[in-house]
Structure 1
Amino acid sequence: MAGQPLSCRASPGGCGYGGDLGGLREREFPRLRGITYLDHAGATLFPDSLLKAFTEDLRNNVYGNPHSQNISSKLTYDTIEHVRYRILRHFGTTSEDYTIIFTSGCTAALKLVAEAFPWMPEGSKQPSSRFCYLTDSHTSVVGMRGITASMNVLSVPVKPKELLSEKNWLPAGEQHQLFEEQNCTTPHLFSYPAQSNFSGTKYPLSWIQDIKSGKLCPIKMPGKWFVLLDAASYVSCSPLDLGVHQADFIPISFYKIFGFPTGLGALLVNNRIAPLLRKTYFGGGTAAAYLAGADFYFPKKSMAERFEDGTISFLDIIALKHGFDVLEKLTGGMEKIKQHTFALAHYTYNVLSTLKYANGAPVVRIYSDTDFSNPDVQGPIINFNVLDENGEVIGFSQVEKMASLHNIHVRTGCFCNTGACQMHLGISDEDIQRNLQAGHVCGDDIDIIDGRPTGSVRISFGYMSSFEDAQTFLKFIVATRFSKSDTEIPFRSSVTKLTTEPVPDDGTYFKNADKLSPGTHISDKEFGNNSSVTVKTVDWQPAKSESESIRATISETAVPTCRGGGNPITVTNIFLYPIKSCSAFEVTEWPVGNQGLLYDRNWMVVNQNGVCLTQKQEPRLCLVNPSIDLKQKIMVIQAEGMDTISVSLEENTGKEAVICESKVCSHRVKTYDCGEETAGWFSMFLGRSCRLIRQSPDKKNSMQHKNTKGLTCATSISLSLVNEAQYLLINVASILQLKEHISARLEEPLEIEELIRRFRANIVISAPESFEEEEWAEISIGALRFQVVGPCSRCQIICIDQQSGERNKEVLQSLSAARGRKTNFGIYLMNQPLCSSFPDMLSVGSQVLPVLKENTEIQRPTSSEEKCSG
């Protein structure tokens, strides 16, 4: 529970460090109270003592540029050299065998290898080089082929099952014959991850020596093989001994280990290949001598100095020393971290794989190459998709939204590993291209196309993760999949006993078990006697298909016809939101401007860094009540317990205005600051430093969206500080239908007025049929004509009571269930810029005349950053 000390009592074997993990969390990670952070594979978290030690170091010492010769510079240089030694010691090696080259991260280290490797291009006298990489590799590894292609070197992708094939393991008599052919010295490079960032599979480190010796052959080419071991994911929770496993290149990012600093990585280079590396560009600090007027350059002797262009990030490098000290002090070292994090993943995997619906169908589909029985072949990463009781995948964006309601931080998508994503989810090359044509790109929230997932959900544990984190996550899965359950997540089970027998480091574990296959591996292992989890499902969920619940934007081939018959449709409510994400201001009649309702979302609250605050971060924003007085030309701002303040409606164009550029979703807008009085008011009310800013009149937020297709003057349409469109419309009949579903989950049903306010619409209408608004192509209200530009995909804000600021998770869950696992509710509207100098009026009671869509193609909404966040 939030605010309670956490521990690993009653946890599976291997969890914890023999002490009070709860005390460690309270001391070092107090910011985690009430939060379940499960994205350590993305970035782990730094402890407070690391920052304290680092800042104390900076306060007590003067560190100058290491390229100078003064006292402070010498101190910096010596400290950095000490850090290099500490890194090598951490990885079980010395400067006699390896050199540390500092980079901006693992990606920069990989790029350096691609540029500096002594490739032999096609067309040369000797056989040409090959760049081979495992398809289960990070994007940054696959991207190296762009550089090799420019050097006329061929790239060869290798699937894991191909590398494990018997034909690639050469008999002893043939191991050196191929590589000694014609005394060939052509260098080839093979790259593979020590641990898959997608599934957590740990590939055998023995491959390093097997490939270099010729025992294992990625492709049969004469020459000499070098190995690049992508260790970024692996070293975050596992020890790596380079004294035993001597790869030629090892790129890492330090934030994966310590959480801080970010933007700092290293390339560990085996000294045997150092003389072969090439370098064309030379930056500051790399030259022993050069001529400015002639083509003469002589590099410095040290390989690190030759490749570290410019002044390295010396203060961040100094922070690493404290990172190693603190990590050792808190945990006892990487081996203990490996055992702790794997114990949590092992337990969570076994519970997840045993969760079943009443009909026996699994609750999740786990994408794994192992059965999570040994930490030497599996890291603390679990990748999965949630299923409904019919076996259909629930989109990852929906799962992520629900997890956010429980303060659980997960990662979704393909995790910059398209190869693994394709292999586990069965996505073909043609599917990738078709999905791109459908509008899906990496990192967006389009999670289902043609009924098939485009990505998955990933959780990962870090050294400060607790057993309670695993429990919270598992309870979340149960709570969101079932209406009621008397099932408790087991704290102990026979399956939590870890395998302690050593696993052969020759790949036979994978080969014999045939674990690496394109299909999905789901363990059927049960918890032991009567430990399988079975729950009852709700019976009111409608089985709507995606095409029935998602209505698209207007197709160019649409033939609109007017809606005929039925009761008249009228406007019942009009709301504007002068300050983005603050309370609604309800009116019965209001002028319409070129950006929508006059003064709608003209202001927003930002934090000390100028980043927009919404109710996702600050639910108390809904308690701020702005209202517009058109006669006095002021906006009045009120909140309980606060003095009332006012802000002028006059555009602030004077020199005293602080003009800045702010970002609202993907849109950049010019804004100006509203002064110290309002900043102090909002800072006091919210309890954090923040300011009120207003959109500047000299640059509007232009609408650049494919959904404007059909508006005759789309290029001239502009937006205020909204996310997607000028207006959001909802239907009371749709609210009423949703209310029935929500009532089935709540002891005290929500009132209709409260639900209306949660959906934060501009226009509320009363139509005879629920969700008929999704069939409309355009509408007319009085003299105003609007085009429907798509559905609104809802986020966590609808779970916030707009009168109290309290959260209720059931609303989004009910919406998802009622709409066939999607969270669309309401439609976006746009209208043409006004031709008249006098604004039109929008009034309650006005009749709404819709035009229906006919013969429209179902299209998927484009991705955006939470479409209804204000």
Structure 2
Amino acid sequence: MGQPASHPDTSDESASTLPAGYSRAIEDWRAEEFGRLQDTVYLDHAGAALYPESLVRNHCQHLLSGLHLNPHSSHAAEQAIDTARRQLLTFFGAASDEYSLVFTSGATESLRVVAEGFAFGPGSVFAYPVESHTSVVGMRQYAFRHGARVATYEMDRLADVADPSYIGRRSIEPPSPSPSPPPSQCPHEAFSSAPPPPNLLIVTGESNFSGLKGDLSLLPSLMEPAIPHHQLHYRVLLDASKLAASSRIDLSRTPVDFMVFSLYKVFGYPTGLGGLIVRHSAAPLLSPPSFGGGTVQAVAATSAFVAEKAALCDRLEAGSPHFLGIAAVPMAFEAVFRRFSMEQLEQHMQAVTHYAYQRMAALTWRQGGRVFRIFGDHHKEDWPRRQGPVVACVVLSPTGDVLPYSSVAGKARERGIVFRTGCHCNTGGCQTHLQLTAADLERHFMSGHVCGDDVDTIDGQPTGCIRLSFGFSSTLADVDRFIDFIRQDVMNEPDTPAPAPQCSLRQDGPVTPPALPPASTPSPPADGHHAAEGVLSSLCIYPIKSCGGVSLARWVIDLRTGGLLLDRRFRLERTTSAEKMPRVISRTSEPKLAQLRVALECDVDRLVMVLSFADEGRSESSLRIPIALRGRPSALLSVIRLMVHHQDSESGTGVGADGEGDEAVARWFGDRLGYGVRLVDSEGDSDIGGEGGGDGRRLLSNYANTSPFLLVSSSSLDHLQRTSGLSIMEADRFRGNLIVSGLPPLIENSWADSPDIPVHIGNLDFYSLGSCKRCPSINVDPQTGTVTASVLQSLTTITQGMEDGSGRKRGVGRFGVLLRYGSSPHGGGDGDGWVEMRAGDKVVRAGSQVDGVCV
């Protein structure tokens, strides 16, 4: 088919001309085949293409037209499968005398088939790009198991994988001892005296995270026997899962040994069907570890005799193939490519993508900062060669903070706009573009964050991004709708006001953030400066991280930890057999923790923590856990006994037997949460109540994420409630340690600018570590455990316009101030003793500026 007409490129959103390659005919086709979109803007084509309606209709008619038998029972069904097999090979430019196609359930199974059957051995190299799908990364487990060296490379350093020293520097230590060469040894040295086992190189055709493309022109030089001989050469597997949906692939021009793909990424339908294309010269390197139905010529059940089939497809397609889905393949080609070639669709997708990039890159806040930080190579002159139809980005606030992606996505869903957020099963993409280290990822996991949850920031670091991905049914109008959404709902531009949504205060449903009303600004004193003064209303400690708190009128700072005694000393870890390693249980992952009530009691010679769930109350079912005050002066218990006596705790008539040991604790939690749980003590991570480490003062208070103290101002909270109309933003939702009243609203926002100026509480000095970036844990109701998904979204919307005393905008998605205790801004208190704090202590910070504070 001919190429579409060329139009002058333009970045002018109001121009009458179209971007080069954009097709109005595809717009007409969309109206015919994708009418179910209606007002929805679908920007997740990397997740799944949208299937044409005629494809599903034709397939349903085919299924209803007669009996369609198992190919093991029907020669006609076998022929239909072979027809679809040849059609796909032709589509990918793979000659049937050089390649075979094995039907699988999709790209992930295809990768597994290669990984478990490939002839890895000691001295082999398995290399994959950092920016790889998790299913690719998972192949390394098979390589490790067979003693192969595993290494990563950056996508723009593909040519360097032939260099043994580069591979040596990029090697990953195996998780357990293996027969692989020592890390200091270059790969070629390990097998210089014997024929080398094969190496396997994974090449990502197009990243599902950023849309970056691999340079396939380099593959021939990496596949041929290396000259000079000390260079590495590889068998190459092309991960075409994303590339096949957006670009023409021609294996006759760019041959590879293996290629994997999923059909739902290309056509949208059928799901659960994909393929593994194998070059015949590479087939001997695959030896499936087992056999199954349809893969053998003969087999004895009572001896080891087996004769496997000779054809590669027959040996690797174990069991009955997805024959009903395979029948849809010819109809998929008819529905998509009857009117347009792959080249036309590719140019159309590129035109829409670049139009989106230009419009997004041009957006700026009124203060001058960019609205988006965009990842990839969209800005380069040869972007069509480098970049697929994906725009991965984070949204920035006027001050440059990253806005929580869950908040942006939640607002978008209300507008009928669909896109993907997170790491998109590509943590290497997150590491590369968000500059996260492996240590960061481990720390996030230990904090309770797992793939697929809505925890979008931890300690101020974004855990993922927003991905807009375009497909053959995308149009410029989709981009315009997205830009309008950003302007109206994120930037709150006055010249394009968004319709004011209704605000729901229901606890069991989403809360829609209201449009920001004009806010009253606290009146400043005439000179604009004074010492901000307030009163410490109460103290609160959270002995078990993510669980209920204990409100106290008096308590002590433990000088060994630098935080409040017992605050976040314990945490809960999940220990079910399905978990490879213990995982921290957070309030986000287990909202029921909000209902775990904690009380403190003093026996004659020990401190006891009493646990009960809200629906049980203090009763015989409560759990009593003795707490060891390791290394503290003996007088401390006497002081605590007086403080606990005055605490505001629930009354209870009786408690159960002491939980003396891990088994009793695990059984108690397991009965209530339904899975294995371990209570871990931060002081040496020993058994609860046992002896352990804990020597030395820590910068963080036990299992605190970022800071020993969190100060929450009740005046600021009241101001937010009045502004938002959301009464559900109560103080205990924000889990502060120091609750202060009487400060001017929002005055604490400015403290981060002068961290050397102390905050005096009574006769103690504290120093600001900045404002607290809130995470989805505030979505959990502290009384009921109900998740109100839009609380964080509401806070983000409300705080977007915050200003401090200097008129600078700051604080998007932030509330509360992180503090550290110390006699100077560079050090904490000394010794192993304690200092006391009391409700009623005066809170003073000199030099605070209160003018211009507004929302």
| TM-score over 0.5 for the pair | yes
CA distance in 2, matches of 1:734, 1:708: 35
| Conserved 8 A contact 1:184-1:223 | no
Matches within 5 A, 1:16-27: 16-19=22-25, 21=27, 23-27=28-32
Give the corresponding residue for 1:355: 363
Give the corresponding residue for 2:389: 380
Per-residue CA distance 1:285-332 (angstroms, 9 max, x = gap):
0001122222111111211011000001100111122111111025x1
From 265, 277, 280, the counterpart of 1:256 = 265
Matches within 5 A, 1:788-807: 788=782, 794-795=788-789
- AA aligned to 2:551 is P
Shift of 1:154: 2.0
Structure 1 residue runs without a partner (length 5+) = 1-6, 123-127, 171-176, 489-535, 543-550, 565-592, 598-698, 711-730, 743-751, 762-769, 780-785, 800-808, 826-850, 855-870
Give the corresponding residue for 1:432: 441
- AA aligned to 1:91 is F
3-state SS of 1:356 partner: coil
Give the corresponding residue for 1:555: 543
User: Is the alpha carbon distance of 1:394 and 1:157 closer, same or farther for their aligned partners in structure 2, counting shifts above 3 Å?
Assistant: same
1:31 paired with 2:36, answer yes
Shift of 1:276: 3.2
3-state SS of 1:206 partner: helix
Give the corresponding residue for 1:463: 472
User: Is the alpha carbon distance of 1:77 and 1:552 closer, same or farther for their aligned partners in structure 2, counting shifts above 3 Å?
Assistant: farther
CA distance in 2, matches of 1:280, 1:705: 34
Matches within 5 A, 1:314-325: 314-325=323-334
How many residues are treated as equivalent by the alignment? 561
- AA aligned to 1:349 is Y
- AA aligned to 1:257 is V
| Conserved 8 A contact 2:19-2:355 | no
From 41, 61, 67, the counterpart of 1:62 = 67
3-state SS of 2:211 partner: coil
User: Is the alpha carbon distance of 1:448 and 1:313 closer, same or farther for their aligned partners in structure 2, counting shifts above 3 Å?
Assistant: same
Shift of 1:741: 3.4
User: Is the alpha carbon distance of 1:709 and 1:206 closer, same or farther for their aligned partners in structure 2, counting shifts above 3 Å?
Assistant: closer
| Conserved 8 A contact 2:267-2:332 | yes
Shift of 1:476: 1.3
- AA aligned to 1:460 is S
User: Is the alpha carbon distance of 1:165 and 1:83 closer, same or farther for their aligned partners in structure 2, counting shifts above 3 Å?
Assistant: closer
Give the corresponding residue for 2:510: none
Per-residue CA distance 1:364-414 (angstroms, 9 max, x = gap):
111113426532221000111011111111121122112112111111111
From 170, 195, 199, the counterpart of 1:184 = 195
Shift of 1:241: 0.4
3-state SS of 2:25 partner: coil
1:41 paired with 2:46, answer yes
User: Is the alpha carbon distance of 1:215 and 1:42 closer, same or farther for their aligned partners in structure 2, counting shifts above 3 Å?
Assistant: farther
1:266 paired with 2:250, answer no
- AA aligned to 2:139 is M
User: Is the alpha carbon distance of 1:596 and 1:350 closer, same or farther for their aligned partners in structure 2, counting shifts above 3 Å?
Assistant: farther
Give the corresponding residue for 1:13: 19
User: Is the alpha carbon distance of 1:289 and 1:224 closer, same or farther for their aligned partners in structure 2, counting shifts above 3 Å?
Assistant: farther
User: Is the alpha carbon distance of 1:739 and 1:99 closer, same or farther for their aligned partners in structure 2, counting shifts above 3 Å?
Assistant: same
3-state SS of 2:384 partner: coil
3-state SS of 1:327 partner: helix
- AA aligned to 1:314 is F
| Conserved 8 A contact 1:80-1:314 | yes
CA distance in 2, matches of 1:453, 1:20: 37
| Conserved 8 A contact 1:776-1:852 | no
Shift of 1:181: 7.0
Per-residue CA distance 1:668-725 (angstroms, 9 max, x = gap):
xxxxxxxxxxxxxxxxxxxxxxxxxxxxxxx999587999999xxxxxxxxxxxxxxx
Give the corresponding residue for 1:202: 213
User: Is the alpha carbon distance of 1:563 and 1:309 closer, same or farther for their aligned partners in structure 2, counting shifts above 3 Å?
Assistant: same
| Conserved 8 A contact 1:793-1:824 | no
| Conserved 8 A contact 1:134-1:158 | yes
| Conserved 8 A contact 2:162-2:232 | no
From 294, 303, 321, the counterpart of 1:285 = 294
| Conserved 8 A contact 1:180-1:223 | no
- AA aligned to 1:561 is L
Shift of 1:27: 2.5
1:51 paired with 2:56, answer yes
Give the corresponding residue for 1:154: 149
Shift of 1:539: 9.4
- AA aligned to 2:490 is R
Matches within 5 A, 1:386-535: 386-486=395-495
Shift of 1:185: 5.0
User: Is the alpha carbon distance of 1:377 and 1:540 closer, same or farther for their aligned partners in structure 2, counting shifts above 3 Å?
Assistant: farther
Shift of 1:179: 14
3-state SS of 1:239 partner: coil
- AA aligned to 2:797 is Q
- AA aligned to 2:400 is G
Per-residue CA distance 1:480-528 (angstroms, 9 max, x = gap):
332324489xxxxxxxxxxxxxxxxxxxxxxxxxxxxxxxxxxxxxxxx
Shift of 1:739: 6.1
- AA aligned to 1:36 is V
- AA aligned to 1:111 is R
Shift of 1:50: 0.6
CA distance in 1, matches of 2:551, 2:377: 52
Give the corresponding residue for 2:97: 96
3-state SS of 2:215 partner: coil
1:212 paired with 2:223, answer yes
Shift of 1:12: 3.5
| Conserved 8 A contact 2:39-2:416 | yes
- AA aligned to 1:358 is R
CA distance in 2, matches of 1:81, 1:540: 73
3-state SS of 1:344 partner: helix
CA distance in 1, matches of 2:261, 2:398: 42
Give the corresponding residue for 2:852: none
1:302 paired with 2:303, answer no
- AA aligned to 1:24 is W
Shift of 1:95: 1.0
User: Is the alpha carbon distance of 1:34 and 1:204 closer, same or farther for their aligned partners in structure 2, counting shifts above 3 Å?
Assistant: same
CA distance in 1, matches of 2:189, 2:252: 27
- AA aligned to 2:346 is K
CA distance in 1, matches of 2:301, 2:262: 35
CA distance in 2, matches of 1:824, 1:89: 58
Alignment root-mean-square deviation, CA: 4.5
3-state SS of 2:260 partner: strand
CA distance in 2, matches of 1:486, 1:32: 28
CA distance in 1, matches of 2:53, 2:812: 40
Give the corresponding residue for 1:335: 343
CA distance in 2, matches of 1:114, 1:375: 32
Structure 2 residue runs without a partner (length 5+) = 1-12, 166-187, 498-515, 523-538, 556-612, 618-669, 682-712, 740-779, 803-809, 817-837, 842-855
Normalising by structure 2, report the TM-score: 0.58
3-state SS of 1:192 partner: strand
User: Is the alpha carbon distance of 1:91 and 1:787 closer, same or farther for their aligned partners in structure 2, counting shifts above 3 Å?
Assistant: closer
1:193 paired with 2:193, answer no
Shift of 1:226: 0.6
User: Is the alpha carbon distance of 1:435 and 1:223 closer, same or farther for their aligned partners in structure 2, counting shifts above 3 Å?
Assistant: closer
3-state SS of 1:384 partner: strand
User: Is the alpha carbon distance of 1:281 and 1:706 closer, same or farther for their aligned partners in structure 2, counting shifts above 3 Å?
Assistant: closer
**Identity, % of aligned positions:** 32
Shift of 1:178: 11
Shift of 1:459: 0.6
User: Is the alpha carbon distance of 1:8 and 1:370 closer, same or farther for their aligned partners in structure 2, counting shifts above 3 Å?
Assistant: closer
